[in-house]
Amino acid sequence: MNKRYLFCFLLTVFCLCVCTALVSQIDSGVENNTSISVESDEIAINEGSLKDLPSIEESELLFAEFYKTGKIDTEPLFVGLEKLEQELTKVQNLKGKERNIEKENQLLTLYLEYAKIVFTAYLFGSINQSFPKIHNMEKQIDVFLKRCKPNSSVCLKFADYLYARLPENRKVVFKLPVLYRKVLLQDSKNNEAKVKLACWYTFSAQETTSNTNSFIEENEALIEELSAVDRLNAYIVYSLYYMKKYNTKKGWKYLQKAEELFPSYILTERLRANYKKGILSL
């Protein structure tokens, strides 16, 4: 991994850049859709050409393997994106009662999951030749979000996708909690959104307050419910949080958990080296 892509990734982890235009588009849809029930994490898509697509769980395993090895076969995901685009276009073109909002949200949730993974691989330089496909994917997401009525699952996956998006604009980092709060507005028990909002609090402000510290620490136990890659990022963030609070025991504990989860991972190696130098940052 060359320096350019390492730099981009470091910014991604600690900036969590959010595209302002897309967030504003999704905000209006969520506000008008708070009554929609939340689907389970397992997306039930068993129709025609969609039935053989990788599930969210399978995709997360693929994503974790990419973090471990730096290698990934994105072709099944690009095939899935194309099939989902076709189906989403058909669903969104239906009118009135014919339009199945629940199915649309399921399709879009899976689409955003694939998008997150392939864009991360692209950012790392693993699939540079796929730029035309990436560009088309970005445009399609814009179109789908403009027309959808997103539920909490879509909002959370959209936030995950933005996690991997272009990190150049640090100013829009404050848009990310909007999505997490939209999720919690619809589903107050969504532990994934709670942890990710807590992680945002740990690095978004120059100074933490007693209220934010309380939120960060009360949701700490929920980290173990996250996917492997999300746990890794949470371990790193909480390690830094406790080191800066001079609780070095817990700071080292979370760094060790990150190292055990993904041995020889470049960011954990860098963080350990910095801690030994007294540098409490990446």
**CB of 150 within 8 A of CB of 33?**
yes
Amino acid symbol at 55: S
Position 204 scores a pLDDT of 66
**CB of 181 within 8 A of CB of 196?**
no
Distance CA 148, CA 101 (A): 8
Query: What burial letters (b/e) apply to 152-166, b meaning 16+ CB within 10 Å?
Result: bbbbbbbbbbbbbbe
**CB of 229 within 8 A of CB of 261?**
no
| pLDDT by position in tens, the chain (length 282) | 544 444 444 444 444 443 444 444 555 554 444 433 334 444 446 566 788 899 999 999 999 999 999 999 999 999 999 999 999 999 999 998 899 999 999 999 999 999 999 999 998 888 888 989 999 999 999 999 999 999 999 999 999 998 777 554 465 577 788 999 999 999 999 999 999 999 988 876 555 678 899 999 999 999 999 999 999 999 999 999 999 999 999 999 999 999 999 998 999 999 999 999 999 988
Contacts of 40 (CB under 8 A, 6+ apart): none
**CB of 105 within 8 A of CB of 153?**
yes
**CB of 15 within 8 A of CB of 173?**
yes
Position 206 scores a pLDDT of 54
Contacts of 17 (CB under 8 A, 6+ apart): 11, 162, 165, 166, 167, 168, 169, 170, 172, 173
Position 175 scores a pLDDT of 75
pTM summary value: 0.83
Q: Which two three-digit tokens encode residue 145?
A: 């979000």
End-to-end CA distance of the chain: 17
**CB of 105 within 8 A of CB of 157?**
no
